[in-house]
Amino acid sequence: MNLEKLFRKFSSDKFTHQYHQIYHSYLSNFRLKKLNILEIGVADGSSLKAWSEYFKNSKIIGIDIKQINLKKKKLNKKNIYFHCGSQTNKSFLDELKRKYIKFDIIIDDGSHFPKDVVFTFKELFSSLDTNGLYFVEDTQTSYNHFFGGNAFDLKYANTHVNYFKNLVDTLNYKEIPNPFYIKGKFDGLIKSVSFYNNMIVVKKGINDIESNLVLNNSYENKRYLMKTSRNKNSEFKYFIKYKIIFKIYTFILFLLNLFKKTILLRF
Ligand SMILES: C[S@@+](CC[C@H](N)C(=O)[O-])C[C@H]1O[C@@H](n2cnc3c(N)ncnc32)[C@H](O)[C@@H]1O
């Protein structure tokens, strides 16, 4: 049975949200694999039942802040595991990481509070397999005041949609010609971040492609290397130009930006 039918069969709201199309595009190739799949938020267990049938060879691990009676919810299947705890409880998540070592797929369908979603992502990212997938559902709460979202300040609001938008810089960290750039926690570890209606998908993976313009977060370094490899006789001239004059120029740009940021109070 395909995901659409399974979500319908178990009355999961993943069908009403049309998430089956997105899940199908990412997961259909892994159907027969032996994976560890973690879903945050179990409720009546509709999605766990669907995953349990879809991924017959995988462990389906569900967590929920509320205790769930597995027998009553008909979740007492041999590939379903349940743990009661909060996605914002670090020691609970650490225990989970110790128990399962790694997860191939993580789905956050828990509290949907922006700060909880970001906290959980930061905590669980290290336990996601090198080529793992992280799904965040119901990201509409980023715009909803009652969830701590913000409908009026779309750019600077402290929401999970903005948090994941900012990960785009992590994808391009080698392209940033700023010698003062401080390497981010996830730089080089994420292959893609995709946005859909109410859903975000992060694909983990090694991302160490060298820039054609920038070396060690400085375009002067790259230019210096290119020029000197072409013309060895002018090494001194290039040294003065790229290692001294251009670096001073970059430093002035940095100071101007700092000044601009301070004046506009946008730290
Ligand atoms: C939308 S329901 C989950 C639905 C389920 N994934 C499905 O598709 O059938 C959200 C669940 O998250 C749980 N939840 C809320 N806050 C949580 C938290 N901080 N940690 C873990 N679970 C939480 C709620 O108890 C609720 O059961």
Q: Is 52 close to ligand 1, i.e. is its CB under 6 Å away?
A: no
From CA 55, how far away is CA 61, in angstroms rounded?
A: 12
Q: How far is the CA of 87 from the centre of ligand 1 (A)?
A: 9
Domain match, 198 and 228 both: no
Ligand 1 centroid distance, CA of 162 (Å)? 22
Token pair listed for 186: 């996830």
**φ, ψ (nearest 5 deg) of residue 81:** -125, 140
DSSP 139: G
Listed residues 204, 237, 253: the one ending a domain: 204
Q: Whose CA is nearest to atom 17 of ligand 1?
A: 111
Distance CA 37, CA 59 (A): 6
> CATH number of the domain that 137 lies in?
3.40.50.150
Residue that is written with structure tokens 């766990």 in the block: 48
Question: What pLDDT is recorded for position 179?
Answer: 86
Please tell me the distance from the alpha carbon of residue 24 to that of residue 2, in angstroms, as a whole number. Answer: 8
Q: Is 39 in the pocket of ligand 1 (CB under 6 A)?
A: yes
Same domain, 130 and 250: no
Per-residue pLDDT, 265: 62
Q: Based on the domain organization, do 123 and 11 belong to the same domain? A: yes
For the record, the structure tokens of 45 come out as: 């267990």
82 DSSP β-pair partners: 62
**Residue 212 counted as domain residue:** no
Q: pLDDT tens digit string along 9-41?
A: 999 999 989 999 999 999 999 999 999 999 999
- Residues 109 and 227 reside in one and the same domain: no
* 250 close to ligand 1 (CB < 6 Angstrom): no
What tokens appear for 251 in the block? Answer: 């430093």
The predicted structure's pLDDT at residue 261: 79
Residue 209 inside a domain? The answer is no
Strand order in the sheet with 36-40: 80-84, 59-64, 36-40, 103-108, 128-137, 199-204, 190-196
Does residue 177's CB lie within 6 angstroms of at least one atom of ligand 1? Answer: no
Report yes or no on 57 lying in a domain.
yes
Would the CB of 178 count as within 6 Å of ligand 1?
Answer: no
Domain tally, the chain: 2
Residues 43, 123, 22, 57: is their CA dihedral positive or negative? negative
Q: Is 42 in the pocket of ligand 1 (CB under 6 A)?
A: yes
The pLDDT of residue 266: 56
Same domain, 84 and 185: yes
Our answer on whether the CB atom of 132 is closer than 6 Å to any ligand 1 atom is no
Residues near 54 by Cβ (< 8 Å), separated by ≥ 6?
1, 3, 6, 27, 31
The residue count of the chain comes to 267
> Which segments in the chain show pLDDT lower than 70?
265-267
Q: Domain check: are 153 and 113 in the same one?
A: yes
- CA 183 centroid distance within chain: 16
Cα–Cα nearest to 250, from 225, 227, 216? 216
258, 158: one domain: no
Residue-range definition of the domain harbouring residue 231: 219-264
Give residue 258's pLDDT: 86
